[in-house]
Structure 1
Amino acid sequence: MASPVPTNITLHRASHVLEVAFDNGDTFRLPAEYLRVHSPSAEVQGHGPGQRVLVAGKQHVNIDAVEPVGNYAVLLRFSDGHATGLFSWDVLHELGRDHASNWQAYLDALAAAGLSRS
């Protein structure tokens, strides 16, 4: 079975949301903060298992630009200067599909570390 491919990507700057519609009918509204703290970049994911970095203080981050990378991904340029993670179609779909559980795990990790979204 082929992975879903975006049919439309819309940046809603005022609401800080990236809306992604896929060819399988799924549509996700992904907040910029959520995408920033779950960036697939090495800066966030680390360079190996167990090296993921907890990113705090991104509540007001926005996406300045969405740049296509070939036919497989987009580069998101965030307002805090972060622009090193390529969001492949699979990554975007997984982040959309797992948004609620990923977000709760992030909030729990922030609380456990005594960190804040702001």
Structure 2
Amino acid sequence: MTTERWPTELRLAKDRRSLRIAFDDGAAFDLPAEYLRVTSPSAEVQGHGPSERKTVPGKKSVEIIGVEPVGNYAVRLVFDDLHDTGIYGWNYLYELGAGYEEKWQAYLDELASKGLSREGLR
């Protein structure tokens, strides 16, 4: 059974390049905008199954321009490349924070294996 995580703080950095989220169990994470963008839970990124998941290159300079509540269970992040279809539930944000190092390295390895770059495209 999955424990429902509950945020106690959600704050966009002044430079719009990271989102700070703290939870009721004491865990807190500063999640880079690029990381949040390339791991978006949207169908555009995740597809409708693991075989459809997309590798999103060129987002090194992406910024978060909006954080919109979705009920009391999630937020929709709006990025300056106009991606806004991902709904980030509290548990998913916790998972992204707790698994940051492993997930980020997997993303970097995936970019390298496909000859893609973090630079460039917006």
* TM-score category of the 2 structures, normalised to the smaller one: over 0.9
Question: Is contact 1:74-1:88 (8 Å) kept?
Answer: yes
Match for 1:24: what amino acid? D
Match for 2:29: what amino acid? F
Structure 1 counterpart of 2:78: 77
Structure 2 counterpart of 1:17: 18
Query: What secondary structure sits across from 2:65 in the alignment?
Result: strand
Instruction: Give deviations 1:64-108, integer Å, cap 9, x for gaps.
Output: 010000010000000000000100001100000000000000000
**CA shift at 1:47, angstroms?**
1.1
Cα distance in structure 2, aligned partners of 1:15 and 1:62:
5
The within-5 A match list for 1:30-109 is 30-109=31-110
* Cα RMSD (Å): 1.1
**CA shift at 1:61, angstroms?**
0.2
Instruction: Give deviations 1:11-68, integer Å, cap 9, x for gaps.
Output: 0031601000000000000000000000000000001232110000000000001000
Query: What secondary structure sits across from 1:50 in the alignment?
Result: helix
Cα distance in structure 2, aligned partners of 1:84 and 1:13:
23
Match for 2:83: what amino acid? H
Identical positions, percent: 56
Cα distance in structure 2, aligned partners of 1:109 and 1:13:
30
Match for 1:19: what amino acid? R
Question: Is contact 1:10-1:20 (8 Å) kept?
Answer: yes
Match for 2:108: what amino acid? L
What are the ranges of 5 or more consecutive residues in structure 1 without an aligned counterpart?
A: none
Runs (4+) of structure 1 exceeding 4 A deviation are: none
Query: What secondary structure sits across from 2:56 in the alignment?
Result: coil
TM score, norm. by length of structure 2: 0.93
